[in-house]
Structure 1
Amino acid sequence: DFLSHGIIAAAAIGAKFPLNSNANNMSFRKSAFDAVGGYGLAGSVVSGDDDLLLQRIWKSKKWNIKYMTDASGAVYTFPAKSFNDMFEQRKRWGSKTVHYTRPQMIFLGAIFFFYLCIPASIIAALFFPILWISAICLLIVKLIGEYMLLLPGMKIFDKSGLRKYIIPGSILQLPMVLCAVVIGVFFKFVWKGGTYKRKVNTQVSMKQI
């Protein structure tokens, strides 16, 4: 799952539509950092200053953004120690998406809606069996789409040995993403020993930048 975030980040940057970044493996020019207001414009957002900085630099259209795929330049970090820790991390990640720039919010919102349609169609199919066709088709589209995206990404990152986990991981990821985003946006998450709600200073909201 963590690898998929890196692959998606690389693909989005390659498409000149950056979505997310990882502060432990991120570098930028000081002039770019200063020109867009640094981390300060993140206001009181609890998490996501790295993503918001990346998107402000992209929106300024003054600098090129690249993703280094050379494995020798990778910065390693420890994964979450348990499923609960991973879920709290995903809740935190989900909480920051509502502060993204409008194009990114629309794009991610469309993906979230597509994900939501899968369990909704399964539940509806319990009452209207003809809808099983729609439910299965939606799930197949998700599995094939993510397989086609992740497989070449795993080759680039020299992690092809993980390809056997793409399908089961894609299935397990569906409910986790839906729950994590909803809880992260509307409720609380735990981070570094503290319990937080997402916060934002409306005077410096990304929508106004």
Structure 2
Amino acid sequence: TKDVAMISGYTTQHDKTLFEAMQSVDFVYLLSVAGGVMNLNKPMSCIGNNMSYRKSVYEEVGGYNSVKFSVTEDFALLMAMYKLNKYKIIHPVDKDLLVVSKPCKNIKSLFHQKKRWGVGGLQSEFAGFAVMASGWISHLCILFLPFLFSSTAFYIFLFKIMTDYFFIAPVYKKLNLKLNLKHFLVFEIYFVIYVFLLPVIVLTNKKVVWKGREF
């Protein structure tokens, strides 16, 4: 419809190894969170390799030349269109719109990717920061759970894992993808660690390495 300015689809990744698989689950999870928040009309994220936008709206915001520089230029364009306050931005869960991309090959390239996203995320509005802050606090608590040595702590951690699983399982089904339990559990460990570390890293050093350049 004419009131839709941008469509941001889902992207998954090739997952031949556990390292690739945790990235694949991470992509689907993050895009599911972004889609959920966007349903509340609060933009949080999109992915450049699977987004399309109306040419007239692109021209209305002045294109990329008029958008403030960002290391996450796709999100900057999304925010520019959102701030017009007259169009919809949607995240359809549609298997026909699914894109499969190549994952980061090693820890170093994955670190650079996550840091770039983290720095770009500083342009989020309050809702985005609220989601990130709640995630950081909850994962900080999870890191302390092993030191509590209580059954309650274990059940809280188990509840968190189950919540995440049942959150993305329907998305996987709609996208005609298989959610491998081992891949999901590896993702959970990875997710707890990077959600805790990333804000600390970004707030202390905002230098970004992207496509061989530093920003």
Cα pair 2:169 2:179 within 8 Å, conserved: no
For 2:89, the equivalent position in structure 1 comes to: 65
For 2:12, the equivalent position in structure 1 comes to: none
Change (3 A) 1:116 1:25: same
Moved over 6 A (4+): none
Which secondary structure state, in structure 2, belongs to the residue aligned with residue 76 of structure 1? strand
Which amino acid in 1 is paired with 2:167?
Answer: L
For 1:156, the equivalent position in structure 2 comes to: 174
Change (3 A) 1:43 1:6: same
**Greater per-residue strand proportion:** 2
**2:117 pairs with one of 84, 89, 93:** 93
Q: In the TM superposition, what are the counterparts of 1:115-154 in structure 2 within 5 Å? A: 115-122=139-146, 125=148, 132=150, 135-154=153-172
Change (3 A) 1:52 1:133: farther
Aligned residues: CA RMSD? 2.6
For 1:24, the equivalent position in structure 2 comes to: 49
Structure 1 residue 97: Cα displacement: 1.7
Which stretches in structure 2 are left out of the alignment for 5+ residues? 1-25
Q: In the TM superposition, what are the counterparts of 1:95-114 in structure 2 within 5 Å? A: 95-114=119-138
For 1:182, the equivalent position in structure 2 comes to: 200
| Whole-Å separation in 2 of the counterparts to 1:182 and 1:104 | 17
Q: In the TM superposition, what are the counterparts of 1:166-205 in structure 2 within 5 Å? A: 166-187=184-205, 188-196=207-215
Identity across matched positions, percent: 26
1:104-141 Cα distance to aligned partner (Å, 9 max, x none): 22232222222222224545x3xxx5xx4564344234
Which stretches in structure 1 are left out of the alignment for 5+ residues? 197-209
1:50-100 Cα distance to aligned partner (Å, 9 max, x none): 123223433433112222333223333221112321122112111222211
Instruction: Give the aligned length.
Output: 189
- 1:35 lines up with 2:60 in the alignment: yes
Cα pair 2:32 2:171 within 8 Å, conserved: yes
For 1:54, the equivalent position in structure 2 comes to: 78
Which secondary structure state, in structure 2, belongs to the residue aligned with residue 160 of structure 1? coil
1:23-51 Cα distance to aligned partner (Å, 9 max, x none): 11111113323434543565343x12212
Structure 1 residue 147: Cα displacement: 0.9
**1:84 pairs with one of 99, 108, 114:** 108
Which amino acid in 1 is paired with 2:123?
Answer: H
Change (3 A) 1:104 1:59: farther
